[in-house]
Amino acid sequence: MWIGYCSTCQKELQVPPGLPCVQCASCHSVVEVAPDPRITNPPPPQLPTPRPPVQQQGSKRAVICGITYNDTSVTLEGCINDAKNMKYFLLNRFNFPESSILMLSEEETDPNRVPTRRNIISALQWLVKDCKAGDSLVFHYSGHGFSLEDKNGDEVDGFDETLVPLDYETEGMIVDDDINELIVKPIPIGVKLHAIIDSCHSGTVLDLPFLCRMDRTGRYTWEDHRPPSKIWKGTKGGEVICISGCDDDQSSMDTSVLSKEASTGAMTFSFIQAIENGQGTTYANLLYSMRSIIQSAGSDMKLRRRDKLRNLILTGEKKFRIRQEPQLTANEPSDLYHKSFSL
């Protein structure tokens, strides 16, 4: 409090600090308050320190499925190795807790972990259940993939893509429409799901609306794969990206490049190698690097086709190519050369 004087009646005024004006008690004039002559540099008013925004810490969860179809006419060699390599990779490279990784393979002793159609569907339901903003989800599948004639008119090319469970002969395959319903449509805002699918005919196996069509120089455009039927194939606001082994009309391969005894999927191998070699900084760099690894290795990778199933089951008149080019699909298009990759 300091003493001033009314400019109208010259009466003494008691002025609280910081007020721009004050009313005289005698003449009731409103008087502008000059700075207190005793204070040359008045301190600024003290404002409360703002708190930093709360960073929402999400959890990590993964389903890993590897099927070799042992003791059948369509046996594959590298799929369980793919599953083991992917688990090790998620644990050590991206810090997934071991308790949050659900493994399905023929080596599992728990009957609920054997990759039957029912168990795979249950695992996918677990993967997305109660997910919340900040969560990172991963679905890795290594096994047979197949292509069936589309029955509901939601495919641009007229064919549904499928995953092939261990008991497909009695229980049927898992069609892309079902996969989309299970793990794409439920994803809410702030949740990210990556599907890493190492199988034949897997380019659009999640039925995502947009496909990145990349040429051999690394240039790409987005193809609109939203169904003519206008059926919604997107998410509830979250992000879903699928990196698959090959285009819908191509075959995926096995390779024994890692060792003379161990066989792996060429796609799973190239995915891990690209990231470990520092070539997975963005999604476009990752996709281009995966393709380059498979293409340049050529005969050194001892590639073996995974499409034995097609030799036993014929569908439609669709022609399939031997060349393998990993694909990327997404629920929304983006600038893949500026979009950082992370799990």
**Spatial CA neighbour of 115 closest among 125, 126, 127, 103:** 103
| Burial label, 305 (beta-carbon count in 10 A; 0-12, 13-18, 19+) | middle
Residue 144 designated active-site = yes
Residue type, 237: G
Residue type, 117: R
Catalytic residue among 65, 140, 144, 246: 144
> How far are the Cα atoms of 63, 123, 311 from residue 127, in angstroms, in the given order?
7, 6, 33
Q: CA-to-CA distance for 193 and 213, rounded, in angstroms? A: 21
Residue 6 designated active-site = no
> How far are the Cα atoms of 226, 252, 315 from residue 149, in angstroms, in the given order?
17, 20, 7
Catalytic residue among 6, 65, 200, 246: 200
171: which 2 tokens?
A: 């229980």
Q: CA-to-CA distance for 146 and 197, rounded, in angstroms? A: 12
Q: Is 139 left (phi over 0), alpha (psi -120 to 50) or beta?
A: beta
Q: How far is CA 70 from the centre of its chain?
A: 31
Q: At 64, is the secondary structure helix, strand, or coil?
A: strand
Q: CA-to-CA distance for 62 and 64, rounded, in angstroms? A: 6
Q: CA-to-CA distance for 128 and 236, rounded, in angstroms? A: 12
- Residues annotated as catalytic are 144, 200
